[in-house]
Structure 1
């Protein structure tokens, strides 16, 4: 109960109301004391006026007048002449004198608190103005015990009333908080738990219905987020099913195309001119289809294996990639240039880095060949800022706008007609596995440059891994 929002709100409300009542209690006690003393002055004035009306009053009547006024002596000054109106023996010497004629609120509060916490009965002198301009001043002596008793009784009544008001107010606020905050929050939490159990079920999306503006805004934001998440989960599920189906189809299709590729090797040996003319195109089409199937299968894996970090001589790796691409160039005028220091040795997975550079060089070669013009592909490497930097550039036509927009998005970032856009996605993933990044540095009519950045730090020592 005490750990709940409503329970803590109830306790805090009670404490704050009681604190407010205490702050009211202090000036209230001071006001009560002032009224009590003024009443004694008024009664004493009435008693003294009775004496002025008849100078010859008996001692018994004088004693009764003082007893009714609850004072020992009364001095009334009229017309600048000090007169002792009524008097009786004092039980003890006068302890203090209090002048109510010019006392401010802080003085009254101070004197009231001092009297409230002083249990000793004392005799005090009190000075004030007579009522209705019946004289210059009136002075009385009185005992403090009845005053303190009356103050304590008044204070207890004030505290009791404050406690009742505090409890009543706290209960009302407790019920209000439960109705307007706690219940909507509990309902919201329940809906969130139901949604978490089955996020794909659109029926579990929270429907905003709170009356409080802030809670309503929170519910609307939650509903929007749940709607988007449910849609994303459904799309992800559909894509997963589609990916599984595509992977199966690609696997079987690759096997079929591989068999067809073997037959095309025999067709190429035919002496028929028409067959000789069509066979290279058939072989190229089948080869591209096989590559597409292999790329799709590779991308469909749950994740690429962790890189096996070894020492790699980059010059040998780039030379091997260039040798393979020179064979694929055919009659096209494509030249290859490498600016890689022969002594440059970096630490990476040799196979994965070969795949990345080979993919970038192959894309560059295909872009140049597609233009039908001469071009150059260059690979440059250097060490700076704690990184190995590898730039792969070409003098091709540059990437089209759609390819730049979806450069690293599968099945959308293909730069050539019929391409699936998987090569760059896989390459970027492999480089991220090394703790580096693959970026498009520049592209345009003058050519395209990709940059590979591999960190030198944080890579295990090759000697321990070779």
Structure 2
């Protein structure tokens, strides 16, 4: 009970209502004391008027008047003359005097609390204004025991009434909280528990129904989160299935390509000049395809092989990529440009860098060809003190908004119509494996530029000796 929201709300409600009643109790008990003293002054005034009407009053009648007024003596000032009207023996000396004529609220509360917590009976003097201006002032002396008893009785009745009001108020608020807040929250919790049991079941997604604005906003936020999570889980399942299928296809394709490699030797033996010129490129393409199949199998195991770093002449890789894409472009009005120093060497995995460049140049070619206009694709490279920079640019129409919003995300960031977005995702992963970065430098109507940044760091190229006729030579 105490650990529930409604239980704690019930207890807090009782506490706050009791605090409010206490704040009301203090001035009310002070008001009760003031009314009590004023009533004694009024009684004393009535008794004194009886004496003024008849100067000859018997001692017994005087004692009865004082007893009815519950005072020991009465002093009435009329016409600037102070006159002791009624008097009786007092049990003790007067301890305090209280003038009600100009008392402030603070003074009344202070005096009431002091009397309430002082159990000793005392004799006090009380001064006030006569009723209906029947004089300048009236003064009485009285004992405090009956006053304190009356205050205690009044206070107990106030506290009991406060307790009843608190209990009823808390119970009503408890029912209201149960109906308006706790029950809807429990409904949301049940939806969450049901969704957690099968998050891929779209029927378990919550439907916002609450009439409370804050709770409805929470339900709408939960609905959005569940929709996104369900979509992500379904996409991950499809990716897992696709990964399994790709791994199987890659396995069989690798075997077929391996068999194709056996026939390349005979092709290289051909005397045809065209065959001799194209055979090495065919061999390289088949070899790269085999390596790609092997890498795909490794990727299906969620582990991209670490790059095998070696010295690579970048111009040769770029030339192979552009030759392949030039053939794919066919008769389309598309030109290719290379700005790679022939002596520029980088330290990288040649197969992985080839895949990166092939993906970037292929995306650029497809973007230009789909625009229906001519264009140019350029690959440039620069060497700096601590890193190499490779730029792949095109004069195509720029990346679409969907590609920009999901860049480098597989199956979402496709840069061409019908593309899967795998090329950029794979390229980024391979560059990260080299400790570098692949980023979009710019895109727009004038074209797109991707930048590859490969750091040297501790992997800076060392000058490795080569041997010619037994003598070491360096480049």
TM range (shorter): 0.7 to 0.9
Cα offsets for 1:351-370 (capped at 9, x unmatched): 6x4444334555688779x9
- What is residue 140 of structure 2 aligned with on the other side? 140
- Is 1:390 matched up with 2:388? yes
Q: 1:166 to 1:224 in 2, by over 3 A?
A: same
Deviates further, 95-104 or 325-334: 325-334
Give the distance between the partners of 1:192 and 1:274, measured in 2 at CA: 68
- What is residue 347 of structure 1 aligned with on the other side? none
- What is residue 453 of structure 2 aligned with on the other side? 452
Q: Normalized against structure 1, the TM-score is what?
A: 0.78
Q: Verify the 8 A CA contact 2:315 2:342 in the aligned structure 1.
A: no
- Is 1:378 matched up with 2:385? no
Give the distance between the partners of 2:18 and 2:320, measured in 1 at CA: 92
Q: Tell me, what secondary structure is at the counterpart of 1:158?
A: helix
Q: Verify the 8 A CA contact 1:442 1:448 in the aligned structure 2.
A: yes
Cα offsets for 1:117-150 (capped at 9, x unmatched): 1111111111111111211111111111111111
Q: 1:447 to 1:29 in 2, by over 3 A?
A: closer
Q: 1:272 to 1:337 in 2, by over 3 A?
A: closer
Q: Tell me, what secondary structure is at the counterpart of 1:429?
A: helix
Q: Verify the 8 A CA contact 2:257 2:289 in the aligned structure 1.
A: yes
- What is residue 218 of structure 1 aligned with on the other side? 218
Give the distance between the partners of 1:12 and 1:38, measured in 2 at CA: 39
Q: Verify the 8 A CA contact 1:399 1:448 in the aligned structure 2.
A: no
Q: Tell me, what secondary structure is at the counterpart of 1:337?
A: coil
Give the distance between the partners of 1:113 and 1:153, measured in 2 at CA: 14
Give the distance between the partners of 1:273 and 1:305, measured in 2 at CA: 38
Q: Verify the 8 A CA contact 2:377 2:394 in the aligned structure 1.
A: no
Q: Verify the 8 A CA contact 1:339 1:379 in the aligned structure 2.
A: no
Give the distance between the partners of 2:2 and 2:137, measured in 1 at CA: 59
- What is residue 354 of structure 2 aligned with on the other side? 358
- What is residue 6 of structure 1 aligned with on the other side? 6
Alpha-carbon deviation of 1:40?
A: 0.1
Alpha-carbon deviation of 1:214?
A: 1.3
Q: Verify the 8 A CA contact 2:356 2:430 in the aligned structure 1.
A: no
Give the distance between the partners of 1:144 and 1:372, measured in 2 at CA: 109
Give the distance between the partners of 1:146 and 1:416, measured in 2 at CA: 98
Deviates further, 240-249 or 3-12: 240-249
Q: Tell me, what secondary structure is at the counterpart of 2:385?
A: strand
Cα offsets for 1:70-91 (capped at 9, x unmatched): 0000111222222221111111
- What is residue 19 of structure 1 aligned with on the other side? 19
- What is residue 401 of structure 1 aligned with on the other side? 398
Give the distance between the partners of 2:58 and 2:416, measured in 1 at CA: 130
Alpha-carbon deviation of 1:166?
A: 1.2
Deviates further, 220-229 or 372-381: 372-381
Alpha-carbon deviation of 1:193?
A: 1.4
Cα offsets for 1:18-71 (capped at 9, x unmatched): 111111111011000000000000000111111111111100000000000000
Give the distance between the partners of 1:128 and 1:373, measured in 2 at CA: 108
Q: Normalized against structure 2, the TM-score is what?
A: 0.77
Q: 1:59 to 1:421 in 2, by over 3 A?
A: closer
Alpha-carbon deviation of 1:190?
A: 1.8
Cα offsets for 1:373-421 (capped at 9, x unmatched): 99774341422xxxxx220136x64566248747634467788999976
Q: How does 1:253-268 map onto structure 2 within 5 Å?
A: 253-260=253-260, 262-263=262-263, 266=266
- Is 1:76 matched up with 2:72? no
Q: 1:410 to 1:10 in 2, by over 3 A?
A: closer
Q: Verify the 8 A CA contact 2:361 2:377 in the aligned structure 1.
A: no
Q: Verify the 8 A CA contact 1:73 1:87 in the aligned structure 2.
A: yes
Q: Which runs of 5+ in 1 are unaligned?
A: 345-349, 384-388, 460-466
Q: CA RMSD in A?
A: 4.2
Q: Verify the 8 A CA contact 1:408 1:425 in the aligned structure 2.
A: yes
Alpha-carbon deviation of 1:194?
A: 1.4
- Is 1:432 matched up with 2:432? yes
- What is residue 232 of structure 2 aligned with on the other side? 232
Q: Verify the 8 A CA contact 1:25 1:158 in the aligned structure 2.
A: yes
Q: How does 1:113-128 map onto structure 2 within 5 Å?
A: 113-128=113-128
Q: 1:38 to 1:338 in 2, by over 3 A?
A: farther
Q: Tell me, what secondary structure is at the counterpart of 2:208?
A: coil
Q: 1:419 to 1:231 in 2, by over 3 A?
A: closer
Q: Tell me, what secondary structure is at the counterpart of 1:318?
A: strand
- What is residue 129 of structure 1 aligned with on the other side? 129
